[in-house]
Structure 1
């Protein structure tokens, strides 16, 4: 009886060890797209949600929060991202503001406590995002009344082929 408890603990610990050893390791590359995406595809995918209302915690067309919107757009393009804006900030490659390309994730501090908002750079100084009171909309990234002062940085999470719109 005394040994059966120890054997059971050993077996459970061994199973846990194997599970950890063989589980996939999540890295930045886990979130990279495996298929080519064009900037036009990204813009069209994101634009289809214009006007969807803001809903805290929302991840569907009945309402999106900021990261739920970004998650949905990228999922539709075959790219998996973490759920929250702060988690999204931990993946991808850092991009300078002057080097932004359509599809780059742009991050803002709206709470005074770090990353609290995310959107998708749309091009021509604009980003598309889901914001309180307006839902999914396109906004000037350098907006002098609100967004410009709250910009924190950007990340590139997928290779998006730049294509001129016709």
Structure 2
């Protein structure tokens, strides 16, 4: 969560030539403990307090009781401190910046997109890369997805174009054996020896997400041992 920062103001000018030869030691600003353990400037203070150098030992300053002992640096080697409340960046191990996570696999992206549409009405001919649409025929008055409309939408989010027809999707991508299924693979059912009549998106563990039929909604179904879907299973493809 972002926090406001109060950068330290400039040091006060030296009051005598004797003091100008040494840097005034800066004591840490008054601090208040935060819930994260970080220290922040107390309200109303725009610059840190400064201690007066000892006249007998002009190269040393009296350390603050709330901070570790520090020697006053020579003016030629003065180090500029970061603004109050902001620590210097610490390099990652090996001097490299932390890398971002690798992008998800395309099948995982398709699954995520499909799951976001759970509960959307079935609409014959409905669905596009942009999302649910009005269908055609008996779906002309319903905004939603049919089975192939849902799968083409989901895979479009992974950058893959699929046709809006189950038979064509069955010929897109490469065939995948049942034992090698991965999330996002397309599952086809019905149609005898012709084009399949239904398609769903594999989720894993024997489950698929699909748009079943008119009057129903996008839902998850266990197909692997379903007395209806398992006998009608035709195969699977992995879009590319």
TM-score, normalisation: structure 2: 0.48
Matches within 5 A, 1:102-141: 102-109=183-190, 113-132=194-213, 133-141=215-223
Aligned to 1:100: 181
Quote the offset at 1:135 in angstroms.
1.8
Distance 1:94 1:71 in 2: 17
The alpha-carbon deviation at position 67 of structure 1 amounts to: 0.3
Which of residues 104, 112, 115 in structure 2 aligns to 1:47? 115
User: Greater CA deviation, 118-127 or 143-152?
Assistant: 143-152
For 2:170 and 2:107, how far apart are their aligned partners in 1?
Answer: 21
User: 1:109-157 CA distances to partner (integer Å, 9 max, x unpaired)?
Assistant: 1678541111111111111110113221111122433111111000011
Q: Tell me which of 143, 149, 163 is aligned to 2:231.
A: 149
How many residue pairs match? The answer is 124
CA gap of 1:149–1:124, structure 2 versus 1, over 3 A, is same
Contact 2:107 2:158 in 1 (8 A): no
Q: Name the TM-score, length of structure 1 as normaliser.
A: 0.67
Q: Which protein has the larger Cα radius of gyration, Structure 1 or Structure 2?
A: 2
Name the stretch that deviates more: 37-46 or 146-155: 37-46
Aligned equivalents of 1:112, 1:138: Cα separation in 2: 26
Equivalent pair of 2:111/2:201 in contact (CA under 8 Å): no
Of Structure 1 and Structure 2, the greater strand share is in 1
Q: What CA RMSD, in Å, does the superposition of the two structures yield over aligned residues?
A: 2.1
- The aligned counterpart of 1:30 is none
Higher-RCO chain (CA-CA 8 Å, sequence separation at least 6)? 1
Q: Which runs of 5+ in 2 are unaligned?
A: 1-102, 133-142
Residue 66 and residue 124 in structure 1: after superposition, are their counterparts in 2 closer, same or farther (change >3 A)? same
What stretches of structure 1 of length at least 5 have no aligned partner?
Answer: 1-34, 159-166
**Contact 2:147/2:199 (<8 A) preserved:** yes
Question: Which consecutive aligned stretches of 4+ in structure 1 deviate over 6 angstroms post-superposition?
Answer: none
